Amino acid sequence: MGTAQQVNSYQRITPFVEILDSTLRDGEQTNGVSFLPHEKLMIARKLLHDVNVDRIEVASAGVSEGEKEAVTMICRYARQIGRQDRVEVLGFVDGGRSVDWIGECGGQVINLLAKGSLKHCTQQLHKTPEEHIADIRNVVSYAAGKGMSVNLYLEDWSNGMKDSPDYVYQLVDALALLDIKRFMLPDTLGVMNPLQVIEYFRKMLKRYPQLHFDFHAHNDYDLAVSNSLAAVLSGAKGIHVTVNGLGERCGNAPMASVQAILKDQFHAKTNIDESQLNDISRMVESYSGIAVAPNQPIVGENVFTQVAGVHADGDSKNKLYYNELMPERFGRKREYALGKNSGKANIAKNLEELGLELTPEQTRRVTQRITELGDKKEIVTQDDLPFIVSDVLKHDAPEDKVKLVSYVVSTAYGLKPGANVRVEINGRQYEAGATGDGQYDAFVKALRYIYKKYLNRTFPILANYQVSIPPGGRTDALVQTVISWHYRDSILRTRGLDADQTEAAIKATFKMLNIVESNL
């Protein structure tokens, strides 16, 4: 069957595809990433309950006591919600030690790591295929005796099919009738292309039509998503992903991209709740410390932001620049960037969302000012727009309701940074002091104290903090600080500019407080 015929046949079948998320196992092999036990639990809860993935691979057996604690907590939670069979742990052909370790954690599923290429079998294990098969049989039998379900990884399967297909067939022939639920086929070194995936899967399915095959992609050639889709197109029943594409070397197939393409391009069905993809991305970004690229599909900060004014104009004219990747689908919204490329259409979109109405001439003058700021590489956020409008149109800007009267911040070797702050809120002055993990942290803690003690109000929660300076690295360069805040059900972004980073952050903070105060 040709590729075009396969695609047509695929689209008629509309299969269901299992999604296994391996963020907590393979994703944790990202250089510099190590989740704490409670962080692994929080991610697992989100994946199982909210994102609704079919399975999660949460650890490798026997790694550490911390890992054992994490797996135990995850299994306990999964048992409480009736999804214990969805929690899987990587185990090894080690005579049953991995099975025992997983069982002690309360696990019910082992993903057994076998060798999928002759080279790995003979050069890493120093065993013959027959010896390796016998060892695998013993572990599968031992796991079954413990009431544990077994999935089998064929590590380096891609090179096995390329260099030693007879070995792969010998292995699967010997194991096909055992109590193995899934055979999981990894491109361990990320060397395959979609045509090879189709070819090798076709051979596997022709020889073993009764078996359930998963595909596990790595992204060394930036083909993990394409290869995953080729596997599904060729009959794979399960795909392995990680949140944000975390994983060793170049990472794994990112969940959000795989989900969107499976649904939109091939009409496949999954159990994924797409509205939760952005939230899980942010959670993993925070816990891992690995920032998501702004242009990462689906979850990147910029992917639903129109920059060019002509695009915003087209959006107003029968949504000429829309596609199926609507931001609301993923729990997000479309934004229109403010900068030198904005144009009047972008400005108009932002003004409309804020409820501000300007004449064409006023809009032109505001657009000119924003263009000037963009030429200086300054970031303009929607929350800055009312201030720019007031400045450009020479209106009397409303007097700030929240004013910084005075402050002192200090830092000393061996002591926690401190801050003393006096502010005026609606004509009354308040004062407080606090210590923190940094000067700005101490400053905000003092403000939080004032808002809680004297006003009995909740202070907005900091969501993101970004600092940038012009190229060149001069120590006297202006610092631009853009801070995002959780306020009610929305995100506020405000900007401060100063030669001092703390001062720039304080300016952004007081912009936010005045926006909040004006909305009360």
Cβ atoms of 16 and 48 within 8 Å: the answer is no
- CA–CA dist 444, 6 (Å, integer): 59
Residue/partner pairs of 474-481 with CB below 8 Å, 24 or more apart: 479/504, 480/378, 480/379, 480/504, 481/505, 481/507, 481/508
Q: Extract the tokens encoding 7.
A: 């695609």
Bridge partner residues of 239 (DSSP): 19, 215
List the one residue out of 382, 353, 395 whose CA is nearest residue 512.
382
Query: Is 25 one of the catalytic residues?
Result: yes
Beta-strand ranges (E) seen in 139-179 are 149-155
CA Rg value for the chain: 28
- Amino acid at residue number 480: Q
Q: What is the DSSP letter of 84?
A: G
Query: Is 503 one of the catalytic residues?
Result: no
Return the residue matching tokens 């999935």.
151
Bridge partner residues of 479 (DSSP): 498
422: helix, strand or coil: strand
Q: Would you list the DSSP string of 222-254?
A: S-HHHHHHHHHHTT-SEEEEBGGG--STT-B-B
- Amino acid at residue number 372: E
Return the residue matching tokens 């359930």.
212
Q: Extract the tokens encoding 299.
A: 């979850």
Q: How many helices and strands (H and E) does the chain possess?
A: 18, 16
Annotated active-site residue in 25, 55, 86, 495: 25
Residues of 7-28 as b/e, b for ≥16 C-beta within 10 angstroms? eeebeeeeeebbbbbbbbbbbb
List the one residue out of 239, 337, 244, 336 whose CA is nearest residue 297.
244
Largest CA distance in the chain: 86
- CA–CA dist 30, 464 (Å, integer): 23
Please, what is the angle between helix 501-518 and helix 439-453, to 10°? Answer: 20
Cβ atoms of 401 and 426 within 8 Å: the answer is yes
Annotated active-site residue in 28, 57, 88, 155: 155
List the one residue out of 271, 225, 262 whose CA is nearest residue 54.
271
- CA–CA dist 241, 261 (Å, integer): 13
Q: Extract the tokens encoding 382.
A: 């929607």
3-state secondary structure 339-400: CCCCHHHHHHHHHHHHCCCCCHHHHHHHHHHHHHHHHCCCCECHHHHHHHHHHHCCCCCCCC
Cβ atoms of 159 and 190 within 8 Å: the answer is no
Q: Which residues are known to be catalytic? A: 25, 155
